Chain A
Amino acid sequence: MSVDKETVRKVAKLARLAVPEERLEPLTAELNGILKWIEQLNEVDVAGVDPMTSTVDMKLPMREDVLQSGPTGGGQPDNVVANAPRTEDHFFVVPKVVE
């Protein structure tokens, strides 16, 4: 499988990356180079193999559904917005989304 310029344009849109028109052709070639190399996986017999879902054989730990203390806890709006490019009264400010 290889990608064409229109597919690359579509993938860039899905990935929320603004790719300038003149970069689409070279990017298509770069991605096809990588995809072609990846396709050697088609040689491997995977019939009846379950896909790997966990690197370490363990059960996902459960915890009580209560507010944690410390940095993963609540009640720290100053910290939450500390690095935001634009905020107002502990809200993130974005361009208008609803007309």
Chain B
Amino acid sequence: MANITDLTLAALRDALKAKKVSSLEATDAYLANIDKAKDLNAFVVVTADKARAMAKASDARIAKGEGGPIEGAPLGIKDLFCTEGVQTTAGSHILEGFVPTYESSVSANLWREGAVMLGKLNMDEFAMGSSNETSYFGPVINPWRAKGGNAPLTPGGSSGGSSTSVAAHLCAAATATDTGGSIRQPASLTATVGVKPTYGRCSRWGIVAFASSLDQAGPIARDTRDAAIMLRSMAGFDTKDSTSVNRPVPDYEKSLGASVKGLRIGVPKEYRIDGMPAEIEKLWADGIKWMKDAGCEIVDISLPLTKYALPVYYIVAPAEASSNLARYDGVRYGHRAKEFTDVHSMYANSRAEGFGKEVQRRIMIGTYVLSAGYYDAYYLRAQKVRKRILDEFNDAFKKVDLILTPSAPSAAFALGEKSNDPVQMYLNDVFTVTANLAGLPGASVPAGLDAKGLPLGLQLIAKPFDEETMFKGMYALEQAANFKAQPEKWWG
């Protein structure tokens, strides 16, 4: 086989099953790619020995005619998923050296299905960021560069290690998580496919918690089929997560290629925001035309509260984060300061040393909006607006089956470009955050390049637990967009 790492997950799966290639060969090929891609800084830890051992076990199962649906496929795991015996940091100094004694349910599902772990992927600290610059381990670099330029660009965030490693073929596919857009925005910036399923579809157990009512795991993959394969293996009911939903997991791959004729596609006028690049407007119009040509009915809809979604998010998410991150006290796990005078200064110094600037900022906001006298004005009001946003989506979904929007308000931007203004950085999630607030499934599919040759994605949002219709629509978009561009290889 010419180059194993150029195969999609689906093609690799088939080649492994047909014994045209072994899992060990595929694993070694990916480890070689990872070794040459240190400049991208996509991995916090590479688990080469574990990967080879898992690959050999997979090959033995395949030889006996056994094995799961993705037997032998080498994957990258976002460093937010606890992995037994392998350091899990959430991109934070406070968890440096933390080695879980248990495995997250989502990653355990993947190993049960036969997957091989290549290592842990870099990310924004505690998934708080849209550019990967808040990682304690340094930013991940996007394999894509602007035409004629060599400035390092962001791969998006928080799942930047996931998006970069998939785009640069450092793994067959990757796990990711999405609290406000952390799967879909990085996917959009790297020409990969990112799927955030319905809240409750994937178990949150063993995923380092950021904002529990918004966090949801999903895949970043090379195309829609690969994302469908990944989600099926990641999802499933789990009694250890009380918000996990007990429903059978469909074989999403079966939805691909199904006719989208007659599907009603909603186009919300409020997603046409001020200052949006003309190229993104144009791409959105292309997407609308593609779906129309495929036989869909285009329906203009209105979601007037869209502009309030981000402010709601920046109350609810920090509030939940300030509570979730209270557990980092330097006592049970994580960093403990060397200098302190009593137990209180031990807590405060450990946390100040262990958390980065953005995480501390969000803990402060969260603590403030939950504090006595402010709770009603901020948190309670935000949860009421959030309810109205949910109602607005429910009404819209009486008229449409899917909603089509751009995935992100810009293409990949330079490192440092937005890192000094928190609110500017937060605006990256303007199109994605609504689906988190309402618990809806959303996905980004690569759809075109801007004038600088940088990828742009389109987003589909679906009804709760209707990922199948979403995959149907994604596949139709992907077919019409016929996006084939690859980043020019400058690393390694």
Contact = CB atoms under 8 A, between A and B. Distances in A.
Contact of B200 (A56, A71, A76): A56
Interface string B87-101: 000000000011111
A53 B343 CA distance: 35
Chain B facing A: main interface SS: helix
Contacts of A83: 97-101, 332-334
B198 A84 contact: no
Contact of A38 (B311, B342, B360, B363): B311
Contacts of B387: 49-52
Contacts, number: 166
Interface in A7-53: 7-8, 11-19, 27, 30-31, 33-35, 37-44, 46, 49-53
Which size bracket describes the interface of B in this complex?
35 or more
Interface stretch (B33-41, B238-246, B455-463): B238-246
Interface string A45-67: 01001111111101011010000
Contact of B381 (A11, A46, A58, A61): A46
A83 B200 CA distance: 29
A17 B348 contact: yes
Contact of B364 (A15, A61, A86, A96): A15
B322 A15 contact: yes
A84 B240 contact: no
A55 B2 CA distance: 47
Given A34-B423, A71-B101, A56 B243 contact: yes
Nearest to A83: B333
| Residue from A7, A37, A76 whose CB has the most chain B CB atoms within 10 Å | A37
B312 to A, nearest CB: 7
Given A37-B423, A51-B380, A72-B240, A85 B330 contact: yes
Interface string B372-387: 0010011011111111
A3 B464 contact: no
Nearest to B326: A16
Which size bracket describes the interface of A in this complex?
35 or more
Interface in B367-421: 367-368, 371, 374, 377-378, 380-388, 390
A94 B355 CA distance: 20
A71 B102 contact: yes
Nearest to B344: A16
A61 B384 contact: no
A18 B345 contact: yes
23 contacts: A1-B374, A8-B364, A15-B322, A16-B348, A17-B364, A27-B361, A34-B365, A43-B308, A44-B308, A46-B384, A49-B384, A51-B383, A55-B199, A55-B438, A58-B200, A58-B243, A71-B102, A82-B101, A83-B99, A85-B335, A86-B336, A94-B331, A95-B343
Interface of B: 97-103, 198-200, 213-214, 239-240, 242-243, 245-246, 305, 307-308, 311-312, 314-315, 322, 326, 329-336, 340, 342-349, 351-352, 355, 360-361, 363-368, 371, 374, 377-378, 380-388, 390, 422-423, 438-439, 464
